[in-house]
Amino acid sequence: MISKPRIAIVGAGIGGLTLALMLHHHDFDVQIFEAVQAVKPLGVGINVQPSAVTELVALGLLADLDRIGVRTQEVAYFNPQGQKVWAEPRGRFAGYPVPQYSIHRGQLQVLLLRVVQQRLGEDALKLGHRVLEIDVESTVLKIQQGSNNYLVKPDLIIGADGIHSTLRRQFFPKEGAPCFSGRMLWRATSMAKPFLSAASMAMVGHADQKFVTYPIEPVQASSGLQCINWIAELRVDEVSPERQDWNKQVSKEVFAGAFSAWRFDWLDIPDLIDRAQAYYEFPMVDRDPLPSWGGGACTLLGDAAHPMYPIGSNGASQAILDAKSLVECLQQNPNDLQQALRAYERDRLPKTASIVLANRGQGPDHCLEIVRERAPAGFERLDDVVSEQELLDVAARYKGLVGLEKDRIRERVQGDPNLAEIVASIG
Ligand SMILES: Cc1cc2nc3c(=O)[nH]c(=O)nc-3n(C[C@H](O)[C@H](O)[C@H](O)COP(=O)(O)OP(=O)(O)OC[C@H]3O[C@@H](n4cnc5c(N)ncnc54)[C@H](O)[C@@H]3O)c2cc1C
């Protein structure tokens, strides 16, 4: 075994930080280089699937997740008239060993960052250190800190540097900008009355006009209100802006009018939109799957490797599963780290490529397209429009693609006595 391999991670997002914690747990020597000077809790809500939550729980983060997130109880789909098309329980409510969480993306990132600093030491995380380029032949990173540049030579380089990845651009210089779907997303959070179970995720509409919403904090005892995350989505077909910025603020006038009639007895969407303090615009983009994720002692992970439409709650979840696979491959190939990276790519590249492509076809939200096509003005009886079996099949197909088979997650838990003990304590 190469004595304590030194691994450089580029990017302290959810993928990079989770990988750092896993590598440290297995006694690798890790340094993370993050471009921003201070990590602030940016973004709005995300969902983390049980497959990925299992890995965070294995890292000892169950209590933290319960503190900052909401255990997602169900996912429910509605047509634009507000009629229910499909609903199913999620996480523990669906018999998985661990919960699914609805959580603030920035709070999860800050949590992981704090734990990295505690466990790996302050020095392992280099904030304000932007990776400018790498030399794949010699495994060297060129890093900019303030007005100085310096070089680092680790044994392995992992590019977890997001959708605008510098490392990916170096491997595939002709790739160009991300692919625009023709749909724009407006994201926000609002303090509002709980809807449905107070832990439900609702998808309303169809591919050209959709509203996705779920709470990301518990109901406040004093006000009876809850922090509710939402995303309004419209087909705009205009050319995507040059570079996507997760934090671009716009006025609600840009999109709110299209949803003004979406008031249902179970959710008042115009009211939810009005209650937000800030609205963030982000085009729905992804990138085509790649033939490989790197070369030599370098690879990619998370959004750098496979940015996908935010459908089916897989952005953060798949980054965490990448990290798990990478660490396993390194353990299985202790004498040949490059061989380990290629084994990781063979495992994860085809799986994540399938999800990128499935999300272009609306993934699990495809049930809304079926109903839109057959009953655009709504329905009296859902059974006349679509059978329960057809809806079940749509949901099951996607679960298989993204690694959400219950038996596989149970096996993973039972195969790790420490994890099994923690899971047994979950209430
Ligand atoms: C600010 C921000 C807000 C987001 N908000 C949402 C949201 O509201 N909803 C949603 O579904 N998804 C959001 N995402 C995307 C979501 O976090 C990812 O899809 C998912 O978590 C996978 O993350 P990742 O770790 O692969 O990449 P990211 O979370 O994008 O993290 C990449 C990290 O790499 C750093 N980086 C980039 N280039 C360099 C470089 N050259 N050198 C060093 N560091 C570099 C970035 O600063 C960033 O911290 C957001 C991402 C960001 C960066």
Distance 39 CA to ligand 1 centre (A): 11
φ and ψ at 334, to 5 degrees?
A: -65, -25
Q: State how far the Cα of 218 lies from the Cα of 210, in Å rounded to an integer.
A: 25
pLDDT of residue 102: 97
Pocket-testing residue among 37, 46, 248, 326, ligand 1, by greatest number of atoms within 8 A of Cβ: 46
**Ligand 1 centre from 75 Cα, in Å?**
25
Residue closest via CA to ligand 1's atom 21 equals 316
- Best residue among 246, 285, 355 to mutate for probing ligand 1's pocket (most ligand atoms within 8 Å of CB) is 246
Amino acid making up residue 397: R
How many Å lie between the centroid of ligand 1 and the Cα of residue 390? 36
pLDDT at 402: 87
- Within 6 A (CB) of ligand 1 lie 10-16, 33-36, 42-44, 46, 105, 130-131, 160-162, 166, 187, 246, 302-304, 310, 315-316, 319
* Predicted local distance difference test score (pLDDT) of residue 133: 97
Lookup: tokens for 213: 């919403």
Q: Give the model's pLDDT for residue 108.
A: 97
- pLDDT at residue 311, rounded to an integer: 87
Atom of ligand 1 nearest to the CA of 187: 8
* pLDDT < 50 stretches in the chain: none
- Picking from 200, 156, 207, 173, the residue whose alpha carbon sits closest to that of residue 340 is 156
The CA distances from residue 52 to 23, 69, 295, 404, in Å, are 16, 14, 27, 9
pTM of the model: 0.95
User: Is 412 exposed, middle or buried (CB count within 10 Å of its CB: 0-12, 13-18, 19+)?
Assistant: buried
Query: Measured in angstroms, how far is the CA atom of residue 303 from the centroid of ligand 1?
Result: 7
| pLDDT value of position 245 | 73
pLDDT score recorded for residue 2: 59
